Amino acid sequence: MKIGIVCYPTYGGSGVVATELGKALAKAGHEVHFITYSQPSRLDFFNENIYYHEVSVSSYPLFQYLPYESALASKIVHVVLTEKLDLLHVHYAIPHASATYLAKQILKSKGVHIPFITTLHGTDITLVGKDPSFEPVVTFSINESDGVTAVSESLKNDTYEEFEIISNIQVIPNFIDLERFKKLRKDHFKIAICPHGEKLLMHTSNFRKVKRIEDVVRVFHLVNQKIPSKLLLVGDGPERTSIEMLCRELGVQNDVRFLGKLDVIEEVLSLADIFLLLSEKESFGLAALEAMACEVPVISSNAGGIPEVNVHGVTGFISEIGDVEDMAKNTIYILEDEERLQTFKRNALDRAKEFDIANILPLYEQYYEQITAKSWKFPEKMFVD
């Protein structure tokens, strides 16, 4: 199948899922065309089935805001016509679903029909999407999509609750490439960070408010009083400065390291004893799954779809959002007994295996077949050569 993938190229979860899915589809023999404004960060290898089409927006003195959505729709039209795509799969509703709807209508006016699938990832529904400045467009473009997927049951339910949706939403969870995400023996790094055998806690994110990194630091502060430990914070974003200040306020600045954005996240995850994901909202929690694949138990909040990944008392523990006391207590419980820690680590890996890309890719392929089969297709000659 010839598939166009529209996504954000950045480090965010939706871009990672879209890129990894495209890579896996290409390996499985599909022709994959990425359409976005810069090279996706994880699109870092050559594969003969992968193509990249950059969307650029011309600036003009009249534009206070560059009309990216129009440029994207135009690029989609061009790529569908020239590459003869069978299907478009767009990740994150805003503005990808509405731009694709527009492209679809333009193509229809040229006698070309192409179905599109929208995958909802999280904040496009739970945060930004329901803002009145976007809601009518999000509702409309979800309802006009030929297929809709959500990354968890929780996100599916949120979508039905927050928007007037008439389409069926198919849940296809996030997935993991266990070839890449696995525990690597990096003992020398661990000794450098934890020279006295301290336990290592870790958090990765885009440092936005919704991630509640303040809670991460507060949990660490409590744990650190009972168990010699260090905290690694990976990623960067708007909350970084205030988190640095909080570390100084609590007097833990010498035990907390900020590593910034890292490409080889699996190397660092391999060092960790506990992963903290304490978000206010989290549709799935891909970061937790990546940690679990590297044999790291997860201490999490009960936000959104996290409980569909992290199993309470088995792969880690789940607490109410903001209950830092309970989170610290659970972290200490796992860390204070080495045998217990090893059991949680094994359980985390076993659970991660259920989300192996090999299990999830066929779900997308079946869904693609289903959506294209029910869509009427114009003959080949309608396409431009």
Residue 69 sits at the vertex; the CA angle it makes with 63 and 74, to the nearest 5 degrees, is 105
Among 116, 284, 355, 364, binds ligand GMT (CB under 6 A): 284
Judged by beta carbon, residue 146 or residue 290, the one nearer ligand GMT is: 290
Question: Per-residue x/- mask for ligand GMT, residues 160 to 189, rule CB under 6 A?
Answer: --------------x---------------
Q: Applying CB under 6 A, which of residues 98, 159, 270, 283 lies at the interface with ligand GMT?
A: 283
Can residue 282 be called a binding residue for ligand GMT (CB under 6 A)?
A: yes
Residue 76, token pair as written in the block:
């989609």
**For ligand GMT, what does the binding mask look like between residues 191 and 220, x meaning CB under 6 A?**
---------------x---x----------
Amino acid type, 384: V
User: Does 12 interact with ligand GMT (rule: CB under 6 A)?
Assistant: yes
Residue 234 makes contact with ligand GMT by CB under 6 A: no
Strand partners, 4: 33, 88
Residue range at the interface with ligand GMT (CB under 6 A); choices 118-126, 159-167, 236-244, 359-367? 118-126
Q: Give the residue with the Cβ less far from ligand GMT, 22 or 86.
A: 22
Size of the site for ligand GMT (CB under 6 A): 20
CB of 175 to ligand GMT, least distance (A): 10
Site for ligand GMT in 49-108 (CB under 6 A): 92
Binding flag, residue 286, ligand GMT (CB under 6 A): yes
CB–CB of 233/265 below 8 Å? no
What is the Cα–Cα distance from 87 to 382, expressed in whole angstroms? Answer: 16
Where along the sequence are the contacts to ligand GMT (CB under 6 A)? 12-15, 17, 92, 121-123, 151, 174, 206, 210, 279, 281-286
